């Protein structure tokens, strides 16, 4: 049976906005006194509430002034981990330099954790995300760094997708850093390609391969061969790029990756290469806040014609906050993004980073996902910089 949600004081549809480049707030479609007609997990129709109200449909009333946005899309997270790195954060605040070394401490804790514990931890984090309006979430492996434990993490992600409503996209980040069992980058990546990938493909655990391209991760020349092998196997590729050293962004453009994520050090020439190659650029302000470094050059990325997504990077070491909306609001303020550009970055443009075109807008034939806020004006949400949280989330056509 079809159900009608509303009336909403305002409905922010994101209809008709471009996938790339700047967006003026004047381009945003705002429907007043609006309703959303859903059937199953899809939106059927959007418009004036009174025009959609009809006999034979179920009414899901909104009892107070409310503004609805598309459900949020978090296109880059590391939610499957065990352990704690608050001591590392404390040390970093005291001046200790971070260049990726803390990953191995999480690897040790995650390898020791059972699948049951990891599943419990992931479900708890996803529950928090759902309360904050997130309805689609990417989750990476990368804290196993051997075949047994990378498979364990990917299997946990697969199981979590069946036990809660958020739509999950899994990514294999076995190339997160070099594990202690190896001393040679090429030998380790060969092991991953030959031993891990066949099982991932057989069990359909992921369609995406990621790698941390950096002087302290995997050098560009080594990463290039690994990523080309992934493409040859039918995987989509994405890169951790230009965070602590340059080169990853150029490589992403060269290989026409789905996305290049981080980009704190990206320059204008690289940004133009990424735009030309239609690589989605993903800013991760959580890492900026966790590390005390500069924000990614989001304004410049948009002005050079890129599709800019914004994601939380939720992880235990460098981005522990996990609050996508707050991070996006702060990035928008720091980088002078229009509110429409910020909302695009956590809705339909973030969906583009995951290869999804059926979500991130409130239009017919898309996912019935909404983030609903108790306010009268759509601008209030970012104005309060994350302090105003959703009163409820509609995910997959159900209210949460």
pLDDT of residue 54: 83
Contact 299, 337 (CB under 8 A): yes
| Alpha carbon of residue 64 to chain centroid | 30
Task: Return the closest-CA partner of residue 253 out of 192, 242, 264, 245.
Answer: 242
0.95 exceeded by the pTM? yes
Contacts of 4 (CB under 8 A, 6+ apart): 35, 36, 37, 38, 49, 52, 53, 57, 58, 59, 60
Q: Tell me whether the omega of the peptide bond preceding residue 7 falls within 30 degrees of 0, making it cis.
A: yes
pLDDT of residue 1: 81
Rounded CA separation 384/375 (Å)? 11
Q: Helix count (H) and strand count (E) of the chain?
A: 16, 16
The helix-helix angle for 115-131 and 147-163 (nearest 10°) equals 50
**What domains can be seen in the chain, in order of their start residue?**
2-70+361-399 (2.30.40.10), 72-353 (3.20.20.140)
DSSP strands (E only) in 141-252: 167-175, 208-212, 236-241
Question: What b/e sequence results for 261-298 when a residue is b if at least 16 CB atoms lie within 10 Å of its CB, and e otherwise?
Answer: bbbbbbeeebbebbbeebbbbbbbbbbbbbbeeebbbb
Rounded CA separation 395/337 (Å)? 27
Rounded CA separation 161/260 (Å)? 25
Rounded CA separation 162/119 (Å)? 11
Rounded CA separation 94/88 (Å)? 10
Task: Return the closest-CA partner of residue 11 out of 54, 57, 45, 41.
Answer: 45
pLDDT > 70: percent of the chain: 99
Mean pLDDT, contiguous 10-residue spans, the chain (400 residues):
95 98 98 97 97 88 93 98 94 76 92 98 98 98 98 98 98 98 97 98 98 95 98 98 97 98 98 98 98 97 98 97 98 98 99 98 98 98 97 97
């Amino acid at each position: 049976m079809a159900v009608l949600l509303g009336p909403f004081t305002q409905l922010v549809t994101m209809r008709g906005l471009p996938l790339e480049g700047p967006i003026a707030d004047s381009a945003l479609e705002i429907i007043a006194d609006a309703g959303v007609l859903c059937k199953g997990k899809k939106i059927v129709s959007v418009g004036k509430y009174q025009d959609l109200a009809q006999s034979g449909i179920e009414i899901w009333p909104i009892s107070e002034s409310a503004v609805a946005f598309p459900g949020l899309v978090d296109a880059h997270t590391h939610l499957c981990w065990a352990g704690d790195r608050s001591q590392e954060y404390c040390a970093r605040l005291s001046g200790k330099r971070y260049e990726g070394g803390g990953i191995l401490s999480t690897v040790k804790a995650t390898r020791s954790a059972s699948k049951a514990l990891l599943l419990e931890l992931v479900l708890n984090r996803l529950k928090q995300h759902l309360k904050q309006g997130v309805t689609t979430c990417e989750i990476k492996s990368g804290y196993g760094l051997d075949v047994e434990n990378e498979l364990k993490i990917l299997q946990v992600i697969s199981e979590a997708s069946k036990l809660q409503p958020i739509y999950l996209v899994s990514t294999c980040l076995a190339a997160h850093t070099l594990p202690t069992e190896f001393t040679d980058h090429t030998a380790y990546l060969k092991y991953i390609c030959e031993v891990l990938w066949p099982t991932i493909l057989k069990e359909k655990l992921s369609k995406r391969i990621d790698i941390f391209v950096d002087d302290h991760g995997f050098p560009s020349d080594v990463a290039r061969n690994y990523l080309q092998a992934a493409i040859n196997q039918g995987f989509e590729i994405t890169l951790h790029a230009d965070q602590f050293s340059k080169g990853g962004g150029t490589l992403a453009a060269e290989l026409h990756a789905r996305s290049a994520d981080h980009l704190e050090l990206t320059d204008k020439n690289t940004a133009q290469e990424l735009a030309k190659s239609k690589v989605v650029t993903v800013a991760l302000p959580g890492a900026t806040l966790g590390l005390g470094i500069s924000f990614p050059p989001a304004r410049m990325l948009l002005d050079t014609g890129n599709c800019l997504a914004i994601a939380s990077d939720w992880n235990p070491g460098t981005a522990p906050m996990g609050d996508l909306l707050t991070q996006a609001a702060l990035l928008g303020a720091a980088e002078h993004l229009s509110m429409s550009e910020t909302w695009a970055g956590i809705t339909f443009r973030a969906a583009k980073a995951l290869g999804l075109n059926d979500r991130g807008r409130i239009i017919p034939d898309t996912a019935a996902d909404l983030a609903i806020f108790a306010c009268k004006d759509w601008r209030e949400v970012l104005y309060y910089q994350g302090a105003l949280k959703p009163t409820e989330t509609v995910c997959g056509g159900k209210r949460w």
